[in-house]
């Protein structure tokens, strides 16, 4: 992410740094709210500045609009903006503390219900804007690399705990990973809760059943 302020300064004031971090957080939160409400295309840097009560310069110093979209999504998902891997997120770490299949499923469902409620629409906006905006496309490609890497670990972990049946081949494992990722995705969450009107409980129950049954029979 470009243009973070203050790192070249010799003397660092803790007070000023705290203030800068708070301003940055407000800008990212405001950007998230506006992108969600007005879409990426319908939001200007000036809108973000006005709504956050800061100067347009401060918004630009926090990052480009494309970088703000990535930061907004990350913040909405995790409450943290500065991570380079899914596994640095506290709520993700907690999921992996699951000790057996049932405990793991509870944690996965809890994470998905909360995380998607905050960030699913931003993910879809992110994907769409990436299809038409090269700068956002680069951020999206980075995010996809994290996501795929993350889901490979998740798939191994779910197989290890016996939530999902062990695949018979490398090809089955690749398909299983893609399938698990699709089941747990923001895209699927939006389809079920928004298009089909399922509530959080029904969505959670669906996730449990689908994960338990995932990936059977591709090479059968």
Partner 1 sequence: MTDTKRAYQSPVRTQQAARTRARIVEAAAVLFSARGFGGTTMGDIARAAEVSVESVHATGSKAFLLVEAFRTRYLGQGGWASVLEQDSVQRIFAIDDAETALDALEEFLVTAHGRSADLLMQLRSTAAVEPLVAESWAQLSRLKSESFLETARWMIRIGIVREPVEDVAGLAATLNVVMSAETYLQMTRDWAMDEATYRATMRAWMRSARP
Nearer to partner 1, 45 or 61 (CB): 45
DSSP string, 108-137: HHHHHHHHHHHHHHHHHHHHHHHHH-HHHH
- Dist. CA 167–CA 20, nearest whole Å: 49
From residue 94, alpha-carbon distances to 13, 77, 106, 111, 170 in Å are: 34, 14, 11, 9, 28
Binding-site member from 65, 115, 121, 158 for partner 1 (CB under 8 A): 121
Nearer to partner 1, 5 or 118 (CB): 118
Nearer to partner 1, 47 or 187 (CB): 187
Nearest to 31 by CA among 187, 134, 188, 136: 136
Instruction: Give the CA diameter of the chain.
Output: 66
Number of residues binding to partner 1, judged by CB under 8 A: 42
> By rule CB under 8 A, what string of x and - marks binding of each residue 37-76 to partner 1?
xxx-xx----------------------------------
Contact call for residue 199 and partner 1 (CB under 8 A): no
- Dist. CA 159–CA 156, nearest whole Å: 5
Select the span of 77-85, 87-95, 98-106, 208-216 touching partner 1 (CB under 8 A): 208-216
Question: Under the rule (CB under 8 A), what is the footprint of partner 1?
Answer: 37-39, 41-42, 121, 124-125, 127-129, 131-132, 144, 147-148, 171, 174-175, 177-179, 181-183, 185, 187-188, 190-192, 195-196, 198, 206, 209-210, 213, 216-218, 220
């Amino acid at each position: 992410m470009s243009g973070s302020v203050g790192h070249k300064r010799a003397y660092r004031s803790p007070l000023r740094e705290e203030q800068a971090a708070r301003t940055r957080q407000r800008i990212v939160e405001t950007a998230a709210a506006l992108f969600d409400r007005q879409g990426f295309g319908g939001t200007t840097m000036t809108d973000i500045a006005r709504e956050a009560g800061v100067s347009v310069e401060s918004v630009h110093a926090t990052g480009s609009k494309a970088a703000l979209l990535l930061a907004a999504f990350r913040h909405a998902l995790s409450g943290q903006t500065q991570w380079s891997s899914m596994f640095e997120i506290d709520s993700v770490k907690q999921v992996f503390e699951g000790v057996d299949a049932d405990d793991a499923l509870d944690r996965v469902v809890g994470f998905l219900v909360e995380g998607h409620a905050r960030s699913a629409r931003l993910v879809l906006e992110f994907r769409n804007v990436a299809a038409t905006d090269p700068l956002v496309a680069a951020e999206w490609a980075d995010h996809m690399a994290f996501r795929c890497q993350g889901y490979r670990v998740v798939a191994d972990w779910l197989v290890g705990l016996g939530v999902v049946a062990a695949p018979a081949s490398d090809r089955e494992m690749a398909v299983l990973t893609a399938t698990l990722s699709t089941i747990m995705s923001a895209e699927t969450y939006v389809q079920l809760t928004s298009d089909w009107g399922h509530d959080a409980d029904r969505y959670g129950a669906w996730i449990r059943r689908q994960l338990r049954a995932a990936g059977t029979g591709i090479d059968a």
